[in-house]
Structure 1
């Protein structure tokens, strides 16, 4: 396939995904206890459909849809970046401990009774936890650490943050605080406001810039680290930028929505058969795929009959865990076939 035909194919794929994300976004604005058709949604967005439609669309559903789009896109992008950096399709954003550290920061302030799950101070604490994890990671691994050392340090940071979260839950001052923590950890976009969107957006924007910065380097890394170095790429700088980008983008998502797993793992795999194994070409489709996946999951939790809304993090885990198992089995079969 020529370069021009690849670009046209990628363009068609990206255009199709943009249309899909747009349709899911509009559907997300219409779905809920009160169904609003597309024309009422548009009227509510521009303030011409009456005060009730404006409140439902702009103040209740728009922040939720925006967060689903933003968090899904950054998770998909982070997953594609890590898979490109590690040259491993099973890599996910949780690898370097930022999501666990963000959860620990949020859970700590809830446990201490400083804030509740709808407080604007909660995202601040969670983002601080994610950024602290990067500092701890670099302190443990060193600024010029190898990839293996970075991964091991990330696992250590993630385990420490997970233990801290469990301790905070165990030492919750009352059953109500423990229940609040438990529900937040399940991951949800319910009852979020534009304040949550605005506080997460700068950190996500920085993370996206850092992850896109090394798009060409991911292509070179498919040839191996020595080949990438011979082409003039600074591997130490690339690793630090990717770790910091994942921490900022994914940490901000966890900060405002709780723990939402497997999107960063699944999203790149949904589009990889259509893109191929070039990590640079995969990044934009993976981001759009992640946005579509989380929007669809958030729509689904509102459609599933239940006495209380199912948490979106639970649904993504129910879908993502079997997908992850299938990926491992396929990879094992591939390795076994190659060994034979």
Structure 2
């Protein structure tokens, strides 16, 4: 039986155009703001190929890769959060809940700990993606045939805890203080000092992850009726699970490989855009992608503007952003008890 075509959300028809404009403004701001002040005329000249050598190097070697990574990683994390919240039917679901983020971080930490990242540039992202996929395979294996979201969440907590223990073990047994400092700095999350090589590493993984996750919008809507209802509407649950597994594992793994551990974007973004849609899972996907890209890019701009002796890490800022969302959800649930 084919699935019915649901009418598109028309509650806020300007939502996607507005988010696209916000993202464009965030991207331009990211290119314009940095440690070295450059006026717009010099930036435009450099972008057109007529600028001085220093401005051109700053724009194309430093700020452009950073802006591209902020957009790609934020979009991937926002989309992954929206998909997982729809699939698990849990408003607090995000990649970290299923253990994907911690497992990908463990793979990257392993590459740093054993020196594999110095042997080849692809070693770190490959291990991060591989561990992300392995974690999700283990997740569904632990959950077994149970389709209960609670079973998946409990299995995810177990995997996330195990991966976190592995990261702590690597820090504890780091061969020297410099190796431990490198791992700790990476775990804080940042896209500072990233180059075009990091863009080449992350973008293919993120593009594959986004493509796989955007396929299942209607299936996520059907799953809101329960597994039996979704199957009655023609949803192949096994294929949906497989695409979700690969999309989150590959996409989040590629993102974590170059940015480190950046949390809470996947949690925050769907909550921000949900009131502006019809609240169906499929209506959240594209808005969450655009809003995640804009939020992470603006957060990266904020870390450059906050006056500190050394630049704040992006993961620290996003963690502070995530706390109010938890508190609001807690207060909302307390009213229902």
| TM-score scaled by length of structure 2 | 0.92
User: Is the CA contact (8 Å cut-off) linking 1:112 and 1:173 kept in structure 2?
Assistant: no
Shift of 1:13: 0.9
Shift in alpha-carbon separation, 1:290–1:208, aligned structure 2, 3 A: same
Q: How many Å separate the matches in 2 of 1:134 and 1:153?
A: 10
Shift of 1:54: 1.1
Match for 2:267 among 265, 268, 274? 265
Gaps of 5+ in 1: none
User: Is the CA contact (8 Å cut-off) linking 2:128 and 2:253 kept in structure 1?
Assistant: yes
Aligned pair count reads 330
Shift in alpha-carbon separation, 1:124–1:46, aligned structure 2, 3 A: farther
Shift of 1:8: 7.6
What's 1:234 paired with? 236
Match for 2:177 among 146, 160, 175? 175
Shift of 1:306: 0.7
Shift in alpha-carbon separation, 1:285–1:131, aligned structure 2, 3 A: same
Q: How many Å separate the matches in 1 of 2:298 and 2:30?
A: 8
Match for 2:298 among 274, 296, 299? 296
**Residues 22-33 of structure 1: matches in 2 within 5 Å?**
22-33=24-35
Instruction: Please give the per-residue CA displacement for 1:169-217, whole angstroms capped at 9, x wherever unaligned.
Output: 1000001111111111000001111111111111111111111111011
Shift of 1:218: 1.4
Match for 1:136 among 135, 138, 143? 138
Q: How many Å separate the matches in 2 of 1:145 and 1:47?
A: 58
What's 2:3 paired with? none
Shift in alpha-carbon separation, 1:115–1:193, aligned structure 2, 3 A: same
User: Is the CA contact (8 Å cut-off) linking 1:215 and 1:280 kept in structure 2?
Assistant: yes
What's 1:322 paired with? 324
What's 2:69 paired with? 67
What's 1:161 paired with? 163
RMSD over aligned CA atoms reads 2.0
Shift in alpha-carbon separation, 1:221–1:137, aligned structure 2, 3 A: closer
Shift in alpha-carbon separation, 1:280–1:308, aligned structure 2, 3 A: same
What's 1:245 paired with? 247
| TM-score scaled by length of structure 1 | 0.91
Instruction: Please give the per-residue CA displacement for 1:229-267, whole angstroms capped at 9, x wherever unaligned.
Output: 211112232223212211111111111100001000001
Gaps of 5+ in 2: 1-5
Match for 2:51 among 49, 52, 55? 49
